[in-house]
Structure 1
Amino acid sequence: MIAFRFGGSAAADESPGVKDVTPISLAGRWTGSYYGYGRSRDGQDCGDSGCRMMFDIVACKDGWCGIAVKTDKSCGAVGLHLAADAKAGEKVFDGQLELAKGAAPYVVQAWHNTDKETGITEMHFVGDTGTKLLMIRRSYPFEATLTRAGDATCTLDKATS
């Protein structure tokens, strides 16, 4: 991940005027479309608008866990694991995403953003199969934008295996 800093100097980071940053909470229901090679989910073509996905993200042992929310709004399996990327900043998360049981998981990176004008909070994901996400790619086998849609109702206790 390439991090950009605007203005200032390295010494400015250690000045007493720098305020403490509150960690971002990902807790809640997140929904949106994802795209991948072939744009298919469960063997069906999802069309130009992408495939829909919904996760209830809750705090877990190693950061954040996303519990898949099924079409009927029942709780599915834990399919998303995210942890803050300390090197890239408080709005960047690294993790793993499993869209279907037994399928190759994606190594993902997500960026959290809240639009100051609209108040809409989104996470944009890119991902690839394998053990490491190479950020020098021109395209990614997985890409998604999820919008925070409310509070989570699924918990780790309700998640299916």
Structure 2
Amino acid sequence: MTQLFTKDGSVPAPLPSRIRLSDGRTRTNPASFTPEEIADAGFSQANPKPEAASDQDVTWGGADWVLRDKTPEELAQKAAEEAAARMLTGKAECRRRIFAVVDEMAQINLAAAAGAGLLSEAQRAAYISGLAWIQQMRGTWPGLIDAGADLSDDANWPAVPDGAAALVAAF
């Protein structure tokens, strides 16, 4: 672990590569600094930074580390940020899974073909079931996040309907 030093109450950091002694001379090889030179330059070794629990913060108090409990507001803010991050992760995984089956260009082409009446009855049925699957996917991810489920487990997601992947391959 790197030794940390403080000078005049500054936040602890490794020694700089150059220190100025009280008589004006400088030293530039940290590996050769003696404890006396370090003290003469005004640096003192800081205590190791303590580990904080998830409901605590560690700050420098000018002379030593200060460990304090987070306020209920800070804990609520952290929980909200973590929940928002999980939601973004779930939404991104849903999008990735949908695009793995039917990318954006295929969706545009299929919508155009369906709108123009160019799909056969079988293709139209596969298209409609594919649209329903996309809606199921979009409805599934929030529940997976709430349950803390494994987003990488295919079993947690709706299955791609029969015929949808084959239809996409044609577009």
Q: Give the TM-score normalised by structure 2.
A: 0.17
Q: Which has the higher contact order (CA 8 A, sep 6+)?
A: 1
Higher strand share: 1
Higher gyration radius (CA): 2
Higher helix share: 2
